[in-house]
Amino acid sequence: MSISPGGADPTWRPEMRSSRSDGFGGFPVFVLVAFVVLFGATVYLVLELRSTRASLDQANQKIQNHEEQLAKLEGSVSRTYKQAEEGISALRGEVSSTRGQINSATKQVQTEVLSKTQEMTQRLSAEQKAAISKVGGDVEQLKSVATNTESKVGALTGEVTGVKSDVSSTKAELEKTIAELKSVKGDLGVQSGLVATNGSELAALKRLGERNYFEFDIKRTKQAQRVGNVSVRLKATDTKRNKYTVELVADDKLTEKKDRSLNEPVQFYVAKAKIPYEMVVNQVQKDRIVGYLATPKDQGR
């Protein structure tokens, strides 16, 4: 390629120059793009700044509202505290006043009671004082009597204890005596009750209380002797053989019991009696017999 004199390219044309520039007055495209981006960013920042300022304004408003509420609360608390202090102070004053009134009233009552007591004491006459003194003496006398009574009661208690002991001993002896007694068949062949052979055994039978017992001491005479509701006449005695013969009269009926032995139950029936009467002779002497008659408790109807 040849170049023209003066350095100009003989192939260059004006349209070739215009093709190397853009259609916006010769600014490069990237500059325009950068400008648009910068403008958009500026708008965005401005909007964000406004939004942030609005949020800050709202926050500041809230803070201000809270501060106003706190101030109101502090004022209310202060007023309440002041009112409470005033109320407490007033109550303290009332309590102090009431205490003073109570103390004053108490002292007045004490003074009045003491005065009336002294007055009543002075009004006591000599006779009343003598009566009081006499009452005191009577009280002392009553104390002395009570002491003596307690002493006597103690002695009686001891005696009662002794009596109880004696009763227990007697009961034991009675039970022993009754256990030693025997029941045998009488002369009618009927089983008899317990037979006593002496005074102590007869006493035990009486305490047992199963029958009625009538003691007798019969001598030989022409006249019969009454024993219970029966008449008995002694006809004969045999001291060597301890035998005796008697006549019995019961319900106007005469019965002879001949040659009966010592401690033998002599049996006979009486009207309305369900079991026979029993006569027991414990001693046979010359012209004399000693013993008892046993009759049933239930005579029948």
Give the model's confidence band at 211: pLDDT under 50 very low, under 70 low, under 90 confident, else very high.
Answer: very high
Max mean pLDDT among 17-26, 96-105, 145-154 falls in: 96-105
Give the model's confidence band at 165: pLDDT under 50 very low, under 70 low, under 90 confident, else very high.
Answer: low
Q: How does pLDDT run across 33-91, given as a tens digit for each residue?
A: 888 888 888 888 888 888 888 888 888 888 888 888 878 887 877 888 788 788 888 87
130-160 as b/e: b if 16+ CB within 10 A: eeeeeeeeeeeeeeeeeeeeeeeeeeeeeee
Q: Please report how the helices 126-180 and 199-208 are oriented relative to each other, as an axis angle in degrees rounded to 10.
A: 110
pTM over 0.75: no
Q: How does pLDDT run across 169-182, given as a tens digit for each residue?
A: 555 666 666 666 77
> What confidence score (pLDDT) does residue 176 get?
63
> What confidence score (pLDDT) does residue 277 get?
96
Res. 126: pLDDT tops 70: no
